[in-house]
Structure 1
Amino acid sequence: MLYLGGSNFDLRLKRGFLSTALIREFDFATYEPRGIGRTEHPSGTWRMADYAKDALSVLDALDWPDAHVIGESFGGMTALHLALLAPERVTRLVVAAATAGGPQHQSYDISKLLSLPDEEAARATLFLQDARNTRLAETDPQAFSQKVSERLGYNKEFANPSVENGGYARLLEARRGHDCTDLVASIQTPALVIAGKHDQQAPLVAQQALGDAMPNAVCKVFVAGHGVLFSDPQAFDSALKFLKERVAVSAST
């Protein structure tokens, strides 16, 4: 199982997956995307194809001929490019909170948040990731203020080194160029698209379009925001069931 995390997937700060059944059920591997945390920063312009090649290099380094792949948010974008680059290496694909990109199906350009004052960026992030936070800010300002405070704390820790060294900005530049809308129909890999009903960062309609475009995909929608995969137990269980079905088939052949 190869897990591809989101654009701010710093393993110092995001380790919740360690307590999930993914660790118990599979040989599990993950890594920080280039530009984040302790990664190297190759010269030149980074593109989504480079992130797919990075994932392929990890599979090669592990000597895994193939793997189930879960991609969440930015990692979901990477997973799509990986499935296009090396379809024989991806046995089953779970894409959560991600879109195929392009003018019609793009996720929100979160690089715009980099230019905002810290608190304004934190508030904007919360509104994007879960539409219910708009209502929360109106009905329970204290609870929403606590969320803003927690987000500010995370952003501060994340900034050193990923924002300060420019790696995050370069990753977001690659993310801005994400567009495989016209290609995903060629992905034959069995796939599950997991979407949050209240996600405004990866619009629901775009996630559903992704599920419709891939010939062997199913899209499931849950009452959640952008972090649907790990915030909604039903979404996680759905992904786990989908992935274990493949394991059972492989074991009997």
Structure 2
Amino acid sequence: MEFVTGTGGRRLDYVRRGRGAPLLLLHGMAAHHEVWGDELLSALEARFDIVAYDHRGIGRGDRADEPFTVADLADDAAAVIASVGWTDAHIFGISLGGMVAQELVLRHPEVVRSIALGCTWAGGPRGVISETSHRMVDAIATRDVEHGLRTSFEANFSRRYAETPGVREIYRRRALSVKVPVPVVLMQWAAAQAHDTTARLGEVAVPALILHGTADAGIPVENALRLSELLPAAQVELFDGAGHLFWWEDPRRTASLLIGQSTD
């Protein structure tokens, strides 16, 4: 594991693999770089130089003790791009990371080649976050690890995929492989709740790809349709019957769509 530099010299954990066009991965709330999974990264590494880093306060990076906004996390992302030696990159952000990707392209358009937004929302009065997400955050806040894992597993996957032999243990192992402090998760949740790019997404000039599972229990699919209304010429790709972590359920299609966007 190496460190990359965010805003203010903040150290952030990251991993890098593959060769090709630069691709920055922005993970979601209560997550870390291991949640991307080798299935997806292996399908991408022949075409992309991939950097997957952990948001502030996660893993072995510097602590995050003060509240932050999605915009602050976007500034971290811009700093990471510079720190790894890139001038710009394709961006794939999921859930909270998709919110960060929106702020990144709005605040630092010069460093973004394209954006792919997965299982996320634009916020605002028409945004919809389900009761399932609230239950997951409440479970994490109890600091009962097993309760939090059970609740997040149920929130993140379709019932169909959740029955796949061995997937529950794989999820548990990956989720626990990197330290995610509860106070940081609660600050992420507050940042996500305050997120609102609805009045600004019309300014986005780079290609935009919207990916969403139709059975997403945490951030319902209507948020993807709302994003497509707000982003000029956005391409929408729905994963029929897939849950919040749609790329676990269909890593090959996810990789194919990201590769296709980068070569259009």
TM range (shorter): 0.7 to 0.9
Matching residue of 1:127: 154
1:228 to 218, 242, 246: 246
User: What is the match of residue 112 of structure 1?
Assistant: 138
Out of 55, 59, 62, the position equivalent to 1:37 is 59
In the aligned structure 2, how far is the partner of 1:80 from the partner of 1:22?
22
Q: Which residue of 1 aligns with 2:217?
A: 200
- Residue deviations 1:97-121 (CA, integer Å, cap 9, x gap): 1111233214334423324555544
The one of 213, 216, 226 aligned to 2:230 = 213
Q: Using the alignment, how far apart are the partners of 2:175 and 2:84 within structure 1? A: 31
What is the aligned-residue identity percentage? 26
Letter in 2 for 1:49: A
- Higher Cα Rg, which structure: 1
Tell me, in whole angstroms, the C-alpha distance in 1 between the residues paired with 2:109 and 2:214.
29
- Match of residue 23 from structure 1: 45
Question: SS of the residue aligned with 1:193?
Answer: strand
The answer (yes or no) to whether the contact 1:11–1:31 under 8 Å persists in 2 is yes
Deviations 1:177-227 (A, max 9, x none): 222222222222210001111111121011111122101211111121111
User: Cα deviations across residues 57-111 of structure 1 (Å, max 9, x unaligned)?
Assistant: 0111123221111112221111111011111211111111111123321433442
1:49-88 to 2 correspondence within 5 Å?
A: 49-88=71-110
Contact 1:11 1:37 in 2 (8 A): no
Determine the C-alpha separation between the residues in 2 that align with 1:202 and 1:44: 26
Q: Larger % of strand: which?
A: 2
Match of 1:240 in 2: 259
Aligned residues: 235
**Cα drift, residue 123 of structure 1:** 3.7
Q: 1:15 to 1:198 in 2, by over 3 A?
A: closer
The CA RMSD measured in Å over matched residues stands at: 2.8
Task: Confirm or deny: 8 A CA contact 1:7 1:73 kept in the other structure.
Answer: yes
1:162 aligns with 2:188: no
Provide the TM-score with structure 1 as the length reference.
0.80
Paired residue for 2:12? none
For residue 14 of structure 2, what is the aligned residue in structure 1? none
Question: Structure 1: which 5+ runs fail to align?
Answer: 137-142, 246-253
Contact 2:40 2:254 in 1 (8 A): no
Between the aligned partners of 1:144 and 1:30, the Cα distance in structure 2 is 26
Distance 1:167 1:93, change over 3 A: same
